[in-house]
């Protein structure tokens, strides 16, 4: 038994394999999947699943609420308060107040609520994707390296792209759908899915582009998903 930061108790048990694979009769088409920040999952058939940005909310109300809780915590007698830290240096027996721990627990519950909302949405998205595919192609991402970009780190953590890919992998086993991962450095975004031309000067800010060879107008993410499918097959 363990107790988390929200004050909830958890009991972990180990069970043998009890899940039976689900066989779905209708597998209409193979699907390539590109993951991103604006849209959490983009399919090769053009379907997009919006990233709801749970850390921010529709009008930034989630961030405002979090800042208010942080400000309240900094006024309590505890480690977030600079006066407490100075007093603790002089007297090591000083401990945080009960109100500090209560506020800290409110922040933990607030974060857990955001996490639960994201997990619920991601599970619905991945289940919907796997049920409609005869074969799935996904990309191999180095999320750890992507987090080094400080401008994208917060958005990446909110998008939870690695969780999406992980859920697709194990759910494809459940539903008996083959799932193939392409090589990490495959130029899925820069390559034209029609003629194979590679646009070397394609930057992250360019969301649509026209192939100079075959004149096809590409949505960057849908084109990447089509290329992922092509390389995965």
Residue 159 is predicted with a pLDDT of: 74
Q: CA 199, CA 187: separation in Å to the nearest integer?
A: 9
Q: Is 7 left (phi over 0), alpha (psi -120 to 50) or beta?
A: left
Rounded to the nearest integer, the mean pLDDT of the chain is 85
- Report whether 44 contacts 225 (CB < 8 A): yes
In this predicted structure, the answer to whether residue 76 has a pLDDT above a threshold of 90 is yes
Question: Above 60 in pLDDT, residue 25?
Answer: no
Q: Answer whether residue 57 shows pLDDT above 80.
A: no
DSSP characters for 161-191? HHHHHHHHHHHHHHTT--EEE--TT--TTTB
Q: What is the mean pLDDT of residues 127-139?
A: 89
pLDDT over 70 percentage in the chain:
90
Q: Are the C-beta atoms of 180 and 136 separated by less than 8 Å?
A: yes
Res 58 pLDDT > 80: no
Asked if the model's pLDDT at residue 103 lies above 90, the reply is yes
Q: Are 215 and 15 in contact (CB under 8 A)?
A: no
DSSP-based three-state secondary structure for 96: coil
In this prediction, residues 209-226 reach a mean pLDDT of 90
State the DSSP string of 6-60.
TS-EE--------PPPPPPS---EEEEEEE-SSEEEEETTS-EEE---TTT-SSS
**Interval 163-184: pLDDT, tens:** 888 999 988 888 888 999 988 7
CA 154 to chain centroid? 11
Spacing of C-alpha 188 from chain mean position? 20
The pTM of the whole model exceeds 0.85: no
């Amino acid at each position: 038994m363990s107790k988390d930061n929200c004050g909830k108790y958890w009991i972990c048990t180990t069970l043998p394999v009890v899940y039976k694979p689900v066989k779905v009769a209708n597998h209409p088409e193979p699907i390539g999947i590109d993951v991103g920040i604006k849209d959490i999952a983009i399919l090769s058939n053009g379907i997009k699943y919006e990233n709801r940005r749970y850390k921010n909310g529709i009008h930034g109300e989630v961030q405002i609420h979090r800042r208010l809780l942080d400000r309240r915590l900094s006024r309590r007698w505890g480690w977030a308060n600079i006066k407490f830290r100075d007093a603790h240096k002089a007297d090591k027996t000083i401990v945080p107040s009960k109100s500090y721990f209560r506020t800290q627990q409110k922040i933990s519950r607030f974060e857990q609520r955001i996490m639960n909302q994201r997990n619920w949405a991601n599970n619905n998205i991945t289940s919907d994707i796997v049920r409609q595919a005869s074969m799935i192609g996904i990309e191999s991402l180095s999320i750890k390296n992507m987090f080094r970009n400080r401008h994208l780190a917060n958005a990446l953590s909110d998008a939870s792209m690695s969780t999406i890919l992980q859920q697709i992998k194990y759910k494809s086993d459940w539903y008996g759908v083959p799932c193939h991962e392409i090589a990490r450095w495959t130029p899925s975004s820069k390559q034209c899915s029609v003629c194979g031309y590679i646009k070397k000067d394609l930057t992250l800010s360019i969301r649509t582009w026209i192939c100079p060879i075959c004149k096809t107008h590409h949505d960057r993410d849908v084109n990447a998903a089509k290329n992922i499918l092509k390389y995965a097959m």
